[in-house]
């Protein structure tokens, strides 16, 4: 008999995710070059838009913790728009359901992810929390579970996890041994340069997953 469980309940730690899916972290710079190598330049106009984005976020954040929906409005949606993910050839599916079938169909893990971009190759996750004070690391186990649900297992899949204050990028491949690695954490509070780099990485990931035909 198939048993169903919520991803957030079944996968609560990094050890859970690695054990359940046989995941191995590959700390090799050549595995995940998209977050630091051959980053596209951004224009002065884009920098000006990012400056406004950061100023607005810091203004609202200064009053206290922000709700998940507010982080989506102030940070995630403007970044995706600037990176071109709302334009062809990309398509957005919001609040997409995820089912992971394990143990030869005996177990199903279910969850929902905030934004799914282009052919299941780029997933964006805003912390499922009412407060921004939770670290992005707390969402990493669930994010890895979502990435493992990628139906195009022959292609690399990317993720972005954010609580508004911080942004973390993930790359995962499903080879004989599923492998993943992480970027450094980018912090919006630190400097506007952090936000510039986030947009550059988003554009670079867009180049990596865009259809070639």
Cα angle value 147/152/154 (rounded, 5°): 100
CA pair distance 44, 184, nearest whole angstrom: 25
d(CA 39, CA 24): 26
What is the CATH topology of the domain spanning 24-98+112-209?
A: tt1808, chain A (3.90.1570)
Instruction: Give the pLDDT of residue 148.
Output: 86
Contact 161, 19 (CB under 8 A): no
pLDDT at 10: 72
In degrees and rounded to multiples of 5, residue 173 shows phi and psi of -125, 145
Distance CA 132, CA 205 (A): 25
| CA pair distance 185, 166, nearest whole angstrom | 6
Q: What pLDDT is stored for residue 145 in this prediction?
A: 86
| pTM attached to this predicted model | 0.89
- Written as tens digits, the pLDDT of the chain (213 aa) is 556 666 667 778 899 889 988 999 998 999 999 999 999 999 999 999 999 999 999 999 998 888 888 998 999 999 999 999 999 888 887 766 666 555 555 556 665 666 676 667 888 888 754 445 567 888 888 889 888 877 777 889 999 999 899 999 999 999 888 999 999 999 999 999 999 999 999 999 999 998 764
Q: Chain centroid to CA 61: how far?
A: 21
Q: Residue 195 — φ and ψ, nearest 5°?
A: -70, -35
Residue of 137, 162, 136 whose CA lies nearest to 68? 162
User: How much is the pLDDT for 92?
Assistant: 81
pLDDT of 12: 80
Residue spans of the domains in the chain: they are 24-98+112-209
Q: Identify the pLDDT of residue 196.
A: 98
């Amino acid at each position: 008999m198939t048993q169903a469980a919520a991803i957030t309940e079944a996968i609560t730690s990094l050890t859970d995710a690695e054990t359940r899916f046989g995941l191995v972290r590959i700390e090799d710079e050549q595995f995940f070059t998209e977050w630091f190598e051959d980053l596209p330049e951004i224009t002065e106009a884009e920098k000006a838009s990012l400056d406004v984005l950061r100023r607005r976020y810091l203004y609202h954040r200064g009053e206290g913790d922000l709700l998940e929906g507010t982080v989506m409005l102030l940070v995630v949606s403007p970044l995706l728009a600037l990176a071109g993910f709302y334009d062809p050839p990309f398509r957005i599916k919001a609040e997409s359901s995820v089912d992971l079938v394990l143990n030869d169909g005996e177990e199903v893990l279910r969850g929902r992810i905030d934004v799914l971009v282009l052919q299941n190759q780029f997933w964006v996750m805003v912390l499922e929390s009412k407060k921004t004070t939770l670290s992005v690391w707390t969402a990493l186990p669930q994010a890895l579970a979502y990435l493992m649900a990628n139906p195009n297992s022959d292609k690399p899949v990317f993720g972005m996890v954010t609580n508004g204050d911080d942004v973390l990028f993930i790359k995962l491949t499903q080879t004989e041994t599923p492998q993943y690695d992480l970027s450094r954490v980018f912090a919006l509070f630190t400097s506007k340069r952090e936000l510039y780099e986030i947009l550059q990485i988003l554009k670079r990931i867009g180049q990596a997953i865009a259809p070639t035909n």
